[in-house]
Amino acid sequence: MKLYYAPGACSLSPHIVMREAGIPVQLVSVDLSTKKADDSSDFKAINSKGYVPTLELPDGQRLTEGPAIVQYLADQAPARGLAPAAGTVERYRLQEWLNFISSELHKQFSALFDPACEVSLRSRQVDKIGKRFDWIVKQLGSRDYLMGGAFSVADAYFYTMLAWCRHVSIDLAKWPSLASYKARVEERPAVREALKAEGLLK
């Protein structure tokens, strides 16, 4: 399968999941400013939305949107336990997490990556993210991962959000349990492999 990605972008989440699932990874880097892929293809012709991730399946079909992609990938390797079985209440709990991260965290970061973001807007966005982090800390409690004792696709997505914090001057020291969680996820071999492949870890 071919994953269209941009280094450090939200496509890091499915990239991590592919490696956790033991799925061979064919990476195609995308310049999000020019919408050109490193194989010289026009990315807008591949995904008309113009943003990563995009997963190209063996039969040529393409999936977009991270939460959908990571569930598809998890279902290709059910023995890895990256997502509960379809139809179970726990699967819907996973979807709760994926939707929360997507709508309540991911989109709050967008303005912070805009160089033209006004100070007042930045302050409001950081405050919103902080309140979401406060809530997650309570849900996480003493668990190692969002769903309990086992790593899931939701953790790959949440880790990606936490990794963005240093780029937008959000100090995780305010949330020690999240800083510990991030470090724990980062020590996973598959996560380190993905970071190295994207040039994010030496």
State the Cα–Cα distance between residues 162 and 146, nearest whole angstrom: 13
0.95 surpassed by pTM: yes
Whether residue 202 is contained in a domain is answered as no
Residue 66, CA distances (Å) to 11, 17, 157, 175, 179 in order: 7, 11, 8, 26, 23
Task: Specify whether the CB–CB gap between 34 and 43 falls below 8 A.
Answer: no
First to last CA, the chain: 25
CATH number of the domain at 24, please: 3.40.30.10
Residues listed for the chain = 202
Which DSSP helix (H) or strand (E) runs through 21? helix 12-21
User: How many structural domains comprise the chain?
Assistant: 2
Residue 202: predicted pLDDT: 72
- Over residues 95-112, the pLDDT tens digits come to 999 999 999 999 999 999
Q: Percent of the chain having pLDDT more than 70?
A: 100
State the Cα–Cα distance between residues 163 and 195, nearest whole angstrom: 11
Spell out, as residue ranges, where the chain has pLDDT lower than 70.
none
Domain of 174, in residue numbers: 89-188
Whether residue 180 is contained in a domain is answered as yes
